[in-house]
Each structure stands twice: as structure tokens, then as C-alpha cells.
Amino acid sequence: MQRTLIHHVTIVNEGRQFKGAVIIEGERITAIVDGQVDSGEDYDLIINGEGCYLLPGVIDEHVHFRDPGMTHKADITSESRAAVAGGVTSVMDMPNTNPQTTTLEAWEAKMENFAQHSLVNYSCYFGATNSNYDLFDKLDKRLVPGIKLFMGSSTGNMLVDRKESLRHIFGGTDMLIMAHCEDQHIISENTAKYKGTDGDAPIELHPVIRSEEACWQSSRLAVELAQEAGARLHIAHISTARELALLTDELINQKRITGEVCVSHLMFNDSDYQSLGARVKCNPSVKTQADQEALQKALQTNRIDTVATDHAPHLLTEKQGGALKAMSGMPTIQFSLNCMLELVDKGIISMESLVQKMCHNPALLYHVENRGFIRPGYQADLVLVRPHSFWTVTPDILQSKCGWSPLEGHTFNWQVVSTFVNGNQVFNNGIISDKYKGQPLNYSKP
């Protein structure tokens, strides 16, 4: 069994920073040392992290790895490589693949695909449709993170828009329901209003078509239905200041309605359409600078519970066009931690809060077993990052199969040095090891 020592690091965990060391035996953390440790013992690997910070591995609760069915632009191997290069050690994949993960057979096949190809730990949501809620009771709650509900149409068109079906879904499970909230009726009206003779509209109209009102009305309805049913609701990718009023500033274990913000809505606003065009087109749309600043400010409270990516690769050829023709979604998982560390440097979020919202809270919200914290007995999912290490995003370092990033040309101050998945150093100074595969996430339901 391999013994690893990571020492001379600043450990950030459970609301504090301290200089110390972590000892790993096999897959698990066996000791956390506050202060110096004797490195003369018998270790197979010793890492001197002087000047670096050691964090729990990031748990990204919201990714689209496009596998199966869309592997021309992404697959489990390529996107999990992007994940480890960005310090992400666990992911939860969305159901709008081909076939859609809306049957037990499709879910089982996708899990087997992840087992064979993923470098990171994994699980797969079960997708809700207008008629499959009778399958919820047959799901293995130890392995399924939750139900994904599209209350607005997106890639894959899994829209659930019947009020009766929505009530069945919210009332039919004690599992967490993650909802994509955009009112399709409002979007359709706006589309008809702004669609040109070429069937498209200028990219700058994307946040006008998929508007604040569309987000508000759908999120408000989701909260209403969840409260009516006593369901656990997690609102995905909140993009407006207005929606924040639907959430409370309580600790995550004290509420049944929670909210996620994605890196794209923290890093970009509608002024970026001028320079980046459809590269920053996503659903829901990036909106005004005021919305962006409100979301950033909410990071300093418990109103926003988790930070994820909604990592959604498309080929650049699929991103051509405007608000209606270009596909929605952007690849962000390789740089999500870097982006959040940049917000730390700007004073928008503390390092301790970053770890809370990217590592601790996803583990608490989903009841992930033995991950998300640096604790003895927990799986050794860790990331080592170095400050004051300037580097620029260039095409040659991109791991996602789609081959581009909206952050190309952006210079970061922090660098991901090493990523450990279950005690295995899968990423180290730019080199990725394909030797190890991740494990299925296990959930202990309350």
C-alpha cells in the first residue's frame, strides 16, 4: 500500500487555514498534522508543497460530458482529463445525452461507461420526463445523486412543462431535485418577437430572449411546487439577482430549498457578447453586470450554497450564429477552480468560503460519503494549488475534446499543481496519468 506525505503546505479545510501536512495510505487520508512532520519515515512519495495551498478536491455537481451520443465534441475520457487538470476530483453528469438517461437501462449503461473511462469519481443524474416518475422508486439511492428536471428546454430537449407532471415529480420522491428553471412560454414569445427572416437573432439578444422574467417565473414556480410537496429542491445555475430572493441565508443543512451558481455567470456578463460572441452563450444566459455583481456578492453569504460549472462542450462550428442558431454551453471545468481563486484575489470570496461552496457543501447537500473534506478516514481527493504563478490559457493546454475555451488569452495568478483522486496523483505539473480510474460516488440518504 503506497504511503504519501504532502507537507509544508497551507491546508484550507472546514473554515480554517493552517500550515501542516497530510499523510495518505492507499486511497485514504490517515493523518492531518498541524505544523511540521518528520519526513524521514518510510514514504513512497513525498511532496514538498512549500508556498502552496492544499484543498479538498472539487466536487462539480453539474457537468455535461456528452457521452454517449455526442462524442464528436466530448467524451468521458477527454472531459475527465480536463477535470483533473483543473483540480476537480468528482463529477455528477447530466441526463441529456443520447440516449437520454431517463430509463434504468440507460442509467446503468452510462455508469458502466464512466467506470471504464473516467479519471475522476462520478455519478449520473436520472432525468425526469413528463411520464417516467413511476421509475423514481426503483432507483438506487446509494448511487443516484438526484433527479434532474428541465423546466426550460435546453440541449437534448427534455422539457417537462405539464403542471400535472411537475406535481407528480415534486411529490413523487424524497431525492434531491435539481431544476433548470426557465419559463418556456416566455422564451417562445420572445423568440417570435425577435426572430429575423434568417431564423436567427443577434447574439446580444440572447439574455433578452431567455430573460430575467423567464428565469424568475420558472424558479418561483419550482419553489412553490417544492414547498407544496415538501420536496428537496436545488435550483441550478441561478443567473439573476432577482432569483436570490427565493433563497434563504441559512446553513445548508437547515434548508430544503438551495441554490447553485455557475462559474460562467460569475465570470461573464452581457457586455462580453461584444468580444466573445456565442462563445459565452449558455442557458440560462449570462445577464447584466448588476446580476453578475449580485451573484458575486451572494457568495459571501449562505444564500448561494454551491458553485459548479454546467460544463457543456460544443464544437466551435456548432457555436456559429446568433441567439437562436448557435448552440448553448461552454467548456469551463478545467479552469473553474482558477476562476474562483481569481475571485479570492479580488476579495469577492474568501479561500475558506471557496472550499465550502465547491467542496464541503456539495458533499453535504448530496450526502456524499467520505469526500469533500480533508479528514482522517476520508478518500484522499485533494488538489494542490500555487499562488503568484502567472500563466495564460492557450489552445495547446486545453483538454476538452471540443478544443476551445472562452478563457483563451486569460492570464491566471493561481496554478493547479497536483490533483489526487483516491490517493492517486492523477495530475502533476501539467502531466496527466491515465493509469487510474475514478470510483462511483456513494450517497447516504438522510
pLDDT digits 0-9 by tens, 193-240? 999 999 999 999 999 999 999 999 999 999 999 999 999 999 999 999
Answer yes or no: is 311 within a domain. Answer: yes
62 and 42: one domain? no
117 and 254: one domain? yes
pLDDT of residue 157: 57
Percent of the chain surpassing pLDDT 70: 98
Confidence of residue 153 (pLDDT cuts 50, 70, 90): low
Query: Could you list the residue range(s) of the whole structural domain that residue 411 is in?
Result: 3-54+380-432
195 and 269: one domain? yes
Is the pLDDT reported for residue 361 higher than 60? yes
Query: Which domain CATH number covers 275?
Result: 3.20.20.140
385 and 241: one domain? no
pLDDT of residue 152: 65
The residue among 325, 341, 366 that closes a domain is 366
358 and 413: one domain? no
426 and 338: one domain? no
pLDDT of residue 254: 95
pLDDT of residue 360: 98
Is the pLDDT reported for residue 159 higher than 90? no
The residue among 366, 394, 410 that closes a domain is 366
The residue among 366, 400, 420 that closes a domain is 366
pLDDT of residue 67: 98
Asked if residue 68 lies in contact with residue 61, where contact means CB atoms within 8 angstroms, the answer is no
Answer yes or no: is 17 within a domain. Answer: yes
pLDDT of residue 394: 98
Answer yes or no: is 440 within a domain. Answer: no
Is the pLDDT reported for residue 175 higher than 60? yes
Is the pLDDT reported for residue 362 higher than 60? yes
254 and 272: one domain? yes
Confidence of residue 161 (pLDDT cuts 50, 70, 90): confident
Mean pLDDT of 235-247: 98
Average pLDDT, the chain: 96
348 and 410: one domain? no
Answer yes or no: is 441 within a domain. Answer: no
pLDDT of residue 33: 95
Question: What grid cell was written down for 391?
Answer: 500563466
pLDDT of residue 333: 98
Is the pLDDT reported for residue 42 higher than 60? yes
pLDDT of residue 252: 97
Answer yes or no: is 84 within a domain. Answer: yes
Percent of the chain surpassing pLDDT 90: 94
Is the pLDDT reported for residue 111 higher than 60? yes
Answer yes or no: is 112 within a domain. Answer: yes
288 and 356: one domain? yes
413 and 296: one domain? no
Backbone angles phi, psi at 230, to 5 degrees: 70, 30
Answer yes or no: is 345 within a domain. Answer: yes
72 and 7: one domain? no
Is the pLDDT reported for residue 158 higher than 60? yes
Mean pLDDT of 93-121: 98
286 and 154: one domain? yes
Give the count of domains, the chain.
2
Query: Which domain CATH number covers 405?
Result: 2.30.40.10
Answer yes or no: is 371 within a domain. Answer: no
Is the pLDDT reported for residue 11 higher than 70? yes
Mean pLDDT of 342-346: 98
